[in-house]
Chain A
Amino acid sequence: DVKVTQSSRYLVKRTGEKVFLECVQDMDHENMFWYRQDPGLGLRLIYFSYDVKMKEKGDIPEGYSVSREKKERFSLILESASTNQTSMYLCASSPPFNSPLHFGNGTRLTVT
């Protein structure tokens, strides 16, 4: 079974802090994704990566960056956290496109 592990289930940070959300997958998947989920808005794509050291902007990249130094790990970085980044963050991975995504359990981030 594919396992996508997000390092924190709950996280509370202060405005202006730099925040790292870590995601690791164990199935050698090429593609990895970061979504945020907000009530009434569904899932929105922040960034994705289809190979090591490659990254592409999704629909809402502002205020975020990512890092993919190893195939199994995809990190989401909030350079200076703001209250409007309070959300549920979901990491996912997949083999090449046109395959189902496998999601992690999510990180609920609160920025105060």
Chain B
Amino acid sequence: ELKVEQNPLFLSMQEGKNYTIYCNYSTTSDRLYWYRQDPGKSLESLFVLLSNGAVKQEGRLMASLDTKARLSTLHITAAVHDLSATYFCAVNSGNTPLVFGKGTRLSVIA
């Protein structure tokens, strides 16, 4: 059974600081997704990581994938308030639905 674990589950960080969210998964996977959810809103896709060593960047967010370690990281650079949201990673294997982590609630404070 595929399990996905994120940590931390809650993260309060100061503006301008850097931090990393971790996503571990339990079995071989085809691809890994990162989603963002703003309060009261639905989920929007941020990144799709397809292969070992894949790195994707958009603005202050950078996601990477290490399939051998079954680990993905979402790195936040010089955080700003607009990045406050809940971030989910999700994984699937073969033709199966995505399994989501529990989410990391990020709060960026001045």
Contacts from A to B (Cβ < 8 Å): 31, 33, 35, 40-45, 48, 58, 90, 96-98, 100-106
Interface residue from A42, A45, A98 paired with B31 (Cβ < 8 Å): A98
Q: Which of B9, B96, B98, B101 has the most CB of A within 10 A?
A: B98
Interface residue from B48, B95, B101 paired with A42 (Cβ < 8 Å): B101
Tell me the minimal C-beta distance from B103 to chain A in angstroms: 5
- Is B26's CB within 8 Å of the partner chain A? no
Q: Which of B30, B43, B45 has the most CB of A within 10 A?
A: B43
- Contact residues in B for A35 (Cβ distance below 8 Å): 100
Contacts from B to A (Cβ < 8 Å): 9, 30-31, 33, 41-45, 48, 88, 90, 92, 94-103
- Contact residues in A for B30 (Cβ distance below 8 Å): 98
The answer for the CA separation of A42 and B88 in the assembled complex, in Å, is 8
The answer for the CA separation of A103 and B43 in the assembled complex, in Å, is 6
The answer for the CA separation of A102 and B97 in the assembled complex, in Å, is 13
The answer to whether A97 touches B88 (Cβ under 8 A) is: no
The answer for the CA separation of A98 and B90 in the assembled complex, in Å, is 11
Closest 9 CB pairs of A and B: A42-B102, A43-B100, A100-B45, A103-B42, A97-B95, A103-B43, A105-B42, A42-B100, A48-B97
